[in-house]
Structure 1
Amino acid sequence: MIAYQTRYLLIALGLCMLSLAACQAPPVVTDLEAYDFEDPTAPTTMPPPASLYTLKSDSIKLMVTAGDGVGEVVNIDVTKVNDDADFPYRRALPGDRIEHVGYAADGSIIVGAVEDLSHNVITYFDPPMPLLPVNLKPDEPQSFKSKMKIVSRKNPQMVTDTGEASKTITHDADQTVVTPVGKFKAYRVHATYTAVLKTARVQTAEDAWYNPKLGLVAERDSETVTALILQWTNKKTIIRSQR
């Protein structure tokens, strides 16, 4: 009897282990040849922002395929907070940045603030800066301007810098993104961003690929920072590695 009980116990344990393995996320494919972009085509009409990139608690893994940190796996984590009615979501990005995001009255996805954890500051935008504006028509740029205020995360009353930011966003192409989990036709959104502060100047060029089923599929950015006589540039391309 003990032998039979032991046998059934081992079978049950094996089934539990198989069940746990099935629930785990598949490993990230590290072969960079599994990630690519097909040739872009003319842009077509985009769905509304909420249909392309639904704000909800989520975590996605992406492979760095070019630029700084090639071969690394990075996360973009979105969480919901209960104490911020205007920007109820936090989008944690590679590079120790956290965006405070939400929906505007017209349906645009907007950013009210960005936390820079490495420098322990928060940048506020007034008015909020769009991440994905509504009515973004093919090849018709939309431009935005905001005043910036940078404060200490430890002491929000301490203003460390001020300035102005400008951003131009264009749906400039449709493009298929090749990933280890399939090929996804996406809407490519190109954005240029300039921030002029008292102590520095920041210029960024960014492409983001959105698919109605997956949301963000890939992102490519190049950021140049000029402070006094110093200048440095960061570049990175990340492509989704899991569904």
Structure 2
Amino acid sequence: MTKRPGFPARLQTPAAPPARSNAAPVASRPLAPSGVGMDSEAVRVRMVARLAAEGIADPRVLAAMGRIERHRFVDTALAIQAYEDTSLPIGLGQTISKPSVVARMAELLVQGVQGRLGRILEIGTGCGYQAAVLGELATEVYSIERLRGLHDKARDNLRPLRLPNVHLLFGDGMQGYAKGAPYAGIIAAAGGEAVPQAWVDQLAIGARIVAPVALPGGRQSLVVLEKTARELRRTVLETVQFVPLKSGIA
């Protein structure tokens, strides 16, 4: 594993505003209750129990889902729905994924790994919720977002949680982040017709990519790509629904 780049980092994206930092290290535990009615640990305990009943078995993932307070990542008006198994709008036409989907993808990412994962890359920070969960499972998380408004929102959401191993990047996620490679895992919150070659190139041998991919017929399926010294093994799993994977920044 190569030495991680220093922060703040600067991505080579021509349209990126030059005066602003492209990475926001967020400095691990939740703060005092936020007072929006979702501050009881009991609601997260019930969510975790539901996830376990639905088949999530990895104790690391269940513990991470129980520690990260999902209501902090949605608008106050939607907080009452934060621990339901539903996606919720976060602005700019994007959504926060269902808890079951976040847990499922995280479990696939850590499958077969003892202890914590190494350095991982998340494509599509969104509101920052999944990045926070991944921060509990990996030694270091680089999360990249192409929409400036969501990058800023995630930074504001994550700052109070004081997660020093989670770094936010503003840039084109389809290009990945070569300076942090090779990665022990890559996870994507948006789906295209194929997994970009840049992600494959930046993946370490023995690591995996977990991402939604569009298949013939228009549906999306969750796909796991495992990189070996000789080949890229592809496993197609269940049908999912994610926002489209897009290039560029906005």
- TM-score, with structure 2 as normaliser: 0.28
Structure with more of its chain in strand, by fraction: 1
Structure with more of its chain in helix, by fraction: 2
- TM-score, with structure 1 as normaliser: 0.28
The structure with more radius of gyration: 1
